[in-house]
Amino acid sequence: MTAGAELLRRNGYTGTGVKQIVQAANAPFGSLYHFFPGGKEQLGEEVIRTSGMLYLALFEIFFADEPDLIHGIEACFASAAETLRETDYADACPIATVALEVASTNEKLRIATADVFTAWIEAGTEKFGKYGLSAESARLLTIALVNSLEGAFVLSRSLRNTESLQVAGISSVALARTLLP
Amino acid sequence: MTAGAELLRRNGYTGTGVKQIVQAANAPFGSLYHFFPGGKEQLGEEVIRTSGMLYLALFEIFFADEPDLIHGIEACFASAAETLRETDYADACPIATVALEVASTNEKLRIATADVFTAWIEAGTEKFGKYGLSAESARLLTIALVNSLEGAFVLSRSLRNTESLQVAGISSVALARTLLP
DNA sequence: GTCTATAATTCGATAGAC
DNA sequence: GTCTATCGAATTATAGAC
């Protein structure tokens, strides 16, 4: 699962072979179809769902016991930029690459990515509501934040710099200030 | 080229076969390697570069003879949302799917996507400067706009709705208002 | 649970006639 | 320029022994 998650986020679903996964995991090939009788698709779906929940937990950490919404947002994008630099621009969003690949070709995997994004949006909406935002504003800010993060990941990985993530942080903070009471 | 562009933006680079492209184009298979001796990689690179320039031209149209920056931004995102709905959430950004796929695996194609994004950012920076923004503000707004658009495309294709694009329009307009003199 | 061999298909790419 | 046949390697998945 861990090896699969790393390869899928970096090379995508069709760009990753099952043999490549078991080799990276130092796992016996026979075990793959023992634990994942559904094959590559089942492995892919479980990777998407668990990676999505792990990433959500990461988000929760940034705003846990954080009294300041603005500082929480800044920390999010700064941390994302640091991870990109440290991993040579490989480890961005754990599911975006697969999400774009399968959106028009594999309905089961597409739904898995949609469930993850929905969970993120609902969690963010609830969290931001605690900073005094209305339900509508909290949802707007959450989606705008995910938009900026995902888009900045695309630019960052392609251009191999973190300017887009810095801009995403600035623009998200600016939006938060206009929504904050 | 046209068939390749459509398949690559929808299914990605590794997810599209060369036989699939020539079949979709109703083209003779032998012609592919006649016109693209470099094979799939050459075709992919040319598709990325020409699609990127076509998309840039689309952007220029929205702001040509448009005296109001805010209305231009709103029209961009409204048009993107309409295209997504009309194509059953297939035709979003022509190069983002490939960009994420190849960022860590194919340097030649990665550079092609980077050149496209760089051209977009430079064109937007120049265009927005004409509305009275400083060079720094114009570049910030451009990158923020691309961030929001690319991220909203990911969410829109996965969730099969246009809420993320509406939010992207709202947040981009809000940012533009804070930067405008 | 794990191993090896292999089935069945598809992949990108090429050869050589026309 | 186009066509067909095909190559060699890769793909996912399975069979059957251990």
| Cβ atoms < 10 Å from Cβ of A134 | 12
- Tell me which chain B residue has its CA closest to the CA of residue A146: B151
Encoding tokens for residue A94? 């754990």
Q: What length does chain A have?
A: 181
A54-75 average pLDDT score: 92
Question: With an 8 Å Cβ cutoff, are B101 and A140 in contact?
Answer: no
Tens digit of each residue's pLDDT (9 = 90 or more) over B68-91: 999 999 999 999 999 999 999 999
- Residue B28 phi/psi, 5° resolution? -70, 140
Per-residue confidence (pLDDT) for residue B101, from 0 to 100: 98
Q: Which architecture characterizes domain B48-179 according to CATH? A: Orthogonal Bundle (1.10)
Contact B143 A149 (CB under 8 A): no
- Confidence band, pLDDT 50/70/90 cuts, at residue B67: confident
Supply the CATH classification number for the domain A45-179.
Answer: 1.10.357.10
CA distance readout (Å), A99 to A63, B79, B155: 26, 22, 9
Which residues of chain A are within 8 Å of residue B15 when distances are taken between CB atoms? 12-14, 101, 105
Of B63, B79, B75, nearest to B153 (Cα)?
Answer: B79
Domain boundaries, chain B: 48-179
State how far the Cα of A173 lies from the Cα of B5, in Å rounded to an integer.
36
How many Cβ atoms are within 10 Å of B178's Cβ, its own excluded? 13
CA angle in degrees (0–180, nearest 5) for A29-A33-A36: 125
Strand D contacted by B31 CB (< 7 A): yes
Contact between residue B127 and residue A151 where contact means Cβ atoms under 8 Å apart: no
Measured CA to CA in angstroms, residue A41 lies from A2, A33, A107 at distances of: 16, 11, 11
Residue with CA nearest C4 C1'?
A30
- Triad A144, A107, B99: Cα angle to 5°: 55
pLDDT tens-digit readout, B141-162: 999 999 999 999 999 999 999 9
Mean pLDDT across the stretch A130-157?
A: 98
**A74-81 mean pLDDT:** 97
Which amino acid makes up residue A73? I
Cβ proximity of A30 and B123 under 8 Å: no
A·B CB contacts under 8 A = 165
What is the reported pLDDT for B23? 95
Region class of B89: left (phi > 0), else alpha (psi between -120 and 50), else beta? left
CB distance A130 to A46 below 8 Å: no
Mean pLDDT of A75-84: 97
Give CA separation, A133 vs A86, A128, B152, B164, B176, in Å: 34, 6, 22, 19, 22
CB atoms within 10 A of CB B180: 14
Cα gap B48→B74, rounded to integer Å: 26
DSSP state at residue A96: H
Q: Which residues contact B97 (CB under 8 A, 6 or more apart)?
A: A100, A101, B8, B9, B10, B11, B12, B13
Q: State how far residue A67 is from chain B, nearest Cα, in angstroms.
A: 24
Best of A101, A147, A178 to disrupt the B interface (most B CBs within 10 Å) is A147
Q: Are A93 and A149 in contact (CB under 8 A)?
A: yes
pLDDT band at B131 (very low <50, low <70, confident <90, very high): very high
**Closest to B148 (Cα-Cα) out of A151, A161, A142:** A151
Query: CA torsion A49→B98→A58→A164, rounded to 10°?
Result: -160
The fraction of chain A above a pLDDT of 70, given in percent, is 100
Q: Is the pLDDT of residue A85 over 90?
A: yes
Is the Cβ pair B143, A163 closer than 8 Å? yes
The pLDDT of residue B66 is above 80:
no
Residues of A in contact with B10 (CB under 8 A): 104-105
Find where tokens 């072979």 sit: A17
CA-closest candidate to residue B149, choices B59, B77, B57: B77
Mean pLDDT of the region B94-110: 98
Q: Residue A28, CB, less than 7 Å from strand C?
A: yes
Would you say B100 and A96 are in contact if contact means Cβ atoms under 8 Å apart? yes
